[in-house]
Chains A and B, each alone.
Chain A
Amino acid sequence: MDERELVQRCLQGDYQAFDELVARYRERTYSLAVHLLADREWAEDMVQEVFLRAFQRLALFDPNKGTFASWLMTMTTRLCLNALKKRNAETHRQMAWEEEATEFEWWEEVPTPEEIWWATQQRLFVRRLLMTLPPPQRAALLLRYGEGMSLQEVAQALQVPVGTVKAWLFRGRETLHRKLKEAGLL
């Protein structure tokens, strides 16, 4: 079923339609949240928050301005970045992203079969590297390449000019490029 139709049905009070929307986008929303927050439980709470907000504000969604996915991802990005800012303000400290990356246990996901070992290691390494980038840069890379959003959509989600997004993408990609080269993965 088309997402516009699902949104319409949901606005008419069909809760199953919203469940369907959640089922379609929960994995992508969670993935974005967990990459931005670097904390699984926090990301799960954030996904709850995102869908609750989406449910409450569904009437504000305009299908002519973009897809439901980009609307949802924009909401997720803003909520996550605001939550990070709030936590930083509360603790009065700048987050040490390098430390965060090493503390964050991605390795629990490593599967045992040897044939996928290399690919998995590389994927996990990329995730770790992403964690070392500042949150807005990381968000830009994830929305652009992970979610496949356009530059304009990314700029709208991060509330910055397109030029800034381009600069963040370039710097982020260059950082990853350098680190992957150093690790011998490129």
Chain B
Amino acid sequence: MTEECQKLLPLIHDWVEGTADEETAFIAQQHLRQCFSCQQVVREWESIAEEIRAAFLVTASHGEKGIWRLPKPEPLLSWRVLGISGLLTTSLMGATLLWQGTSLTDLLRLLVQWILGTAQWMIFPVQWVQRFWDIFSHWA
């Protein structure tokens, strides 16, 4: 391979990649017509591209299926959120009643009453609001 070949190789590469302008393509083609070693290099470049294509795909060590699993969507109201909000509501109610002068025994009684009535309140939301209001207004 001559010094001229070395200089022309980037231009030939452009031509092989299909990105050469008309002038570059003309120079590359002219040179390739008369230069056997550059023809050989172009053939070897093609085979390198083929080799890369062949070597590209790799199988995952744990099997491809093990690579990815779609994450489960988060529920809008998780049990944690419900638990924390329930605890906060209860604490707030307790603090309010204590502040209003309710004794601790009465408070515990109310709490038990509230827990026992929860199922019913959950089924009938209107009753739930009404009952809460009744208790609150009574103790207030």
Contact = CB atoms under 8 A, between A and B. Distances in A.
A186 B51 CA distance: 11
A31 B58 contact: yes
Nearest to A41: B61
B10 A145 contact: no
Interface class of chain B by DSSP? helix
Given A145-B49, A166-B17, A177-B48, A126 B58 contact: no
A170 B41 CA distance: 12
Given A22-B68, A173-B45, A176-B48, A151 B19 contact: yes
Interface residues of A, number: 46
A153 interface: no
B56 A35 contact: yes
Interface in A114-145: 122-124, 126-127, 130, 141-142, 144-145
Contacts of A162: 19
Interface string B35-55: 000000100110111011111
Nearest to B62: A44
Contact of A27 (B10, B49, B55, B57): B57
Given A151-B19, A170-B13, A186-B47, A19 B60 contact: no
Contacts of B10: 170
A170 B13 CA distance: 7
Mostly, the A contact residues are helix
Contacts of B53: 145-146, 148
B67 interface: yes
Contacts of B70: 15, 18-19, 22, 55
A110 interface: no
A147 B52 CA distance: 10
Nearest to A40: B61
Interface in A48-103: 48, 51-52, 55
B52 to A, nearest CB: 4
Contacts of A51: 68
Interface residues of B, number: 29
Given A40-B60, A52-B71, A123 B51 contact: yes
Contacts of B59: 27
Nearest to A163: B19
B134 interface: no
Interface in A149-186: 151, 162, 166, 169-170, 173-174, 176-177, 180-181, 186
B64 interface: yes
Given A169-B17, A173-B45, A177-B48, A30 B64 contact: yes
Contacts of B47: 186
B67 A48 contact: yes
Interface in B111-133: none
B106 interface: no
B17 A151 contact: yes
**3 A-B pairs with the lowest CB-CB distances in the bound complex, closest first:** A146-B56, A145-B52, A145-B49
